[in-house]
Amino acid sequence: MKPAWLLALAALSVNAQPVPDTLAQRALACTGCHGKEGRAAPDGYYPRLAGKPAGYLYNQLLNFRDGRRDYGLMSELISPLSDDYLKELAGHFASLDLPYPPPQPATLPAPELARAEQLVRQGDATRRLPACTACHGERLTGTQPVVPGLLGLSRDYLNGQLGAWRSGQRRAQEPDCMAQVAKALTEADINAITQYLASRPMAADSHPAAALAAPAPLRCGGLAP
């Protein structure tokens, strides 16, 4: 007589439904951390993937695979994947058009938020700081094909990424313009800017702008998709 566990296993095998071999099915490996459909994890640590420019997502996958960004789980997951497959994966998440979470209330006084808005929208020429909108778009929703949006992200994530650029933990293709920007910001600047960005409602049109409105204010290696 066969043991009960073997009979149960056999029953499961008979009733198991075939899993479709689609890119969406394979992308479920990503949503375990990045949230359902790539909408972002609740803890704010794993960012949203859905709707970001495909070129940006592709560049970040290359950065993890090739050692410019350091997170062991990501690097191990994608290390055996080809450039073509990573482009497909980036295109899948870029094609998703999903709602964004509500903004986070800011806790800073109004003058500090006003200063943050000035840095975001005008920059500071005396410190060679360009406006965030110069690359990330007037709506701050990103710019095709490789610049991500800054809205709809948590303060913790924004703080973490700017801090990683300042410390050299996060890098991009040279010349690394974001590292240059992050190192020119003070800790107070970063706190104010991330509070301002996280507190802004998503624009009515949440899609990335079609192109930069003017030439990039800094030389950026990552601007080539």
Residue 14 in any domain: the answer is: no
Residue 8 in any domain: the answer is: no
Band of pLDDT at residue 5, cut at 50, 70 and 90: very low
Q: Which of 36-40, 56-60, 123-127, 188-192 has the lowest mean pLDDT?
A: 36-40
Tokens of 17: 């439904």
Give the percent of the chain with pLDDT over 70.
Answer: 89
- Residue 170 backbone dihedrals phi, psi, to 5 degrees: -110, 135
The mean pLDDT of 85-114, rounded to a whole number, is 95
The mean pLDDT of 145-155, rounded to a whole number, is 95
pLDDT at 14 over 80: no
The pLDDT mean for the chain works out to: 89
Residue 20 in any domain: the answer is: no
pLDDT of 18:
67
Cα dist from 40 to 35, 53, 84, 96, whole Å = 5, 15, 24, 13
Distance separating alpha carbons of residues 52 and 78, to the nearest angstrom: 19
pLDDT of 142:
97
Residue 2 in any domain: the answer is: no
Residue 159 in any domain: the answer is: yes
pLDDT at 133 over 90: yes
> pTM of the full predicted structure?
0.86
* 89 in Cβ contact with 27 (< 8 Å): yes
Give the percent of the chain with pLDDT over 90.
Answer: 72
pLDDT of 157:
92
Residue 22 in any domain: the answer is: no
Tokens of 182: 């992050």
Query: How many domains, the chain?
Result: 1
pLDDT at 121 over 50: yes
Domain with 104 in it: what CATH number? Answer: 1.10.760.10
Those residues with Cβ within 8 angstroms of residue 205's Cβ, 6 or more apart along the chain or in another chain: 139, 141
pLDDT at 31 over 70: yes
Q: List the domain range (segments joined by +) for residue 86.
A: 32-223
Distance separating alpha carbons of residues 55 and 61, to the nearest angstrom: 10
pLDDT at 129 over 50: yes
Band of pLDDT at residue 10, cut at 50, 70 and 90: low
pLDDT at 199 over 60: yes
pLDDT at 1 over 70: no
User: Coil, helix or strand for 147?
Assistant: strand
Residue 11 in any domain: the answer is: no
